[in-house]
């Protein structure tokens, strides 16, 4: 067991090093506002998702081990699959979100922090998509603090990269140069409830609160960019 933990730590360090190489070489600065709002210990980190590179900025902000909930199709490339799996990232299979949340609960109880993009897909810096209830469910089931973030990258620092996922054409924006602006909100706490029958309307209301907070933080991050903060 100890050997397995050491191996997983090594794979996470490799993944983290790759991420840091990207951010150090391709991003001018990661400007984080209100970093003092970040609570100590395990937490559920939620944010908007305008660009494919958003998650690559977070290891520069959070020193602890991060477990990202990631679309399962990303794991289909052989080396990427091995890297992400051994680095203890969490694949989300369509229609099986409950399994991914179960893994996320385990990571939180062991002291890790979980990253969720509630929209479930890129929004390309347009109006936020309707949030999925998974983050709210996880917060209610664990009682862990939920920390909202807002990402913004000026358009001139973005490049569109085209590809294919699940045999369909895709396009995503990658940051090349420029600054990434991140606004940290106040952590949200929902009353813990381990019962299996948590009412959907409660989770939907909590999710609306989460998305409203994220939307406000995005606007603040845009203002930071406009003011050159």
Strand partners, 60: none
Three-state DSSP at 124 gives coil
CA dihedral (217, 70, 55, 20) in degrees, to 10, reads 160
Query: Phi/psi zone of residue 15: left (φ > 0), alpha (ψ -120 to 50 degrees), beta?
Result: alpha
Q: Residue 138 and residue 142: Cα distance in Å, rounded?
A: 6
Q: What is the pLDDT along the chain (229 residues), one digit of tens a residue?
A: 445 666 677 778 888 888 888 988 889 999 999 999 999 999 999 999 999 999 999 999 999 999 999 988 887 777 788 888 888 999 998 888 889 999 999 999 999 999 999 999 888 877 899 999 999 999 999 999 999 999 999 999 999 988 766 666 678 899 999 999 999 999 999 988 766 568 889 999 999 999 999 999 999 999 999 998 6
pLDDT for res 2: 46
pLDDT for res 121: 87
pLDDT for res 153: 96
Q: Residue 223 and residue 229: Cα distance in Å, rounded?
A: 9
Q: Which CATH architecture has domain 2-227?
A: 3-Layer(aba) Sandwich (3.40)
Q: Please state, as a whole number, how many other Cβ atoms lie within 10 Å of the Cβ of residue 89.
A: 23
CA dihedral (22, 28, 33, 39) in degrees, to 10, reads 20
DSSP characters over 202-221: HHHHHHHHHHHHHHHHHHHH
Length of the chain, in residues: 229
pLDDT for res 229: 67
């Amino acid at each position: 067991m100890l050997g397995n933990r050491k191996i997983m730590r090594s794979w996470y360090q490799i993944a983290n090093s790759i991420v840091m190489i990207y951010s150090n070489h391709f991003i001018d600065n990661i400007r984080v506002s209100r970093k003092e709002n970040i609570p100590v210990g395990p937490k559920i980190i939620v944010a908007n998702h305008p660009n494919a590179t958003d998650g690559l900025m977070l290891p520069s902000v959070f020193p602890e081990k991060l477990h990202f909930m990631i679309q399962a199709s990303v794991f289909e490339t052989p080396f990427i699959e091995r890297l992400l799996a051994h680095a203890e990232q969490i694949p989300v299979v369509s229609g099986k979100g409950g399994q991914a949340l179960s893994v996320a609960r385990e990571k939180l109880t062991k002291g890790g922090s979980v990253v969720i993009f509630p929209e479930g897909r890129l929004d390309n810096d347009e109006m936020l998509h309707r949030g999925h209830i998974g983050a709210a469910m996880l917060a209610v089931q664990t009682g862990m603090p939920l920390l909202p973030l807002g990402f913004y990258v000026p358009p001139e620092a973005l490049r569109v990269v085209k590809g294919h996922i699940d045999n369909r054409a895709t396009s995503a924006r990658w940051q090349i140069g420029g600054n990434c602006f991140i606004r940290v909100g106040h952590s949200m706490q929902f009353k813990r409830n381990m019962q299996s029958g948590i009412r959907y309307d409660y989770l939907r209301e909590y999710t609306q609160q989460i998305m409203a907070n994220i939307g406000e933080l995005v606007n603040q991050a845009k203002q930071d960019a406009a003011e050159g903060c």
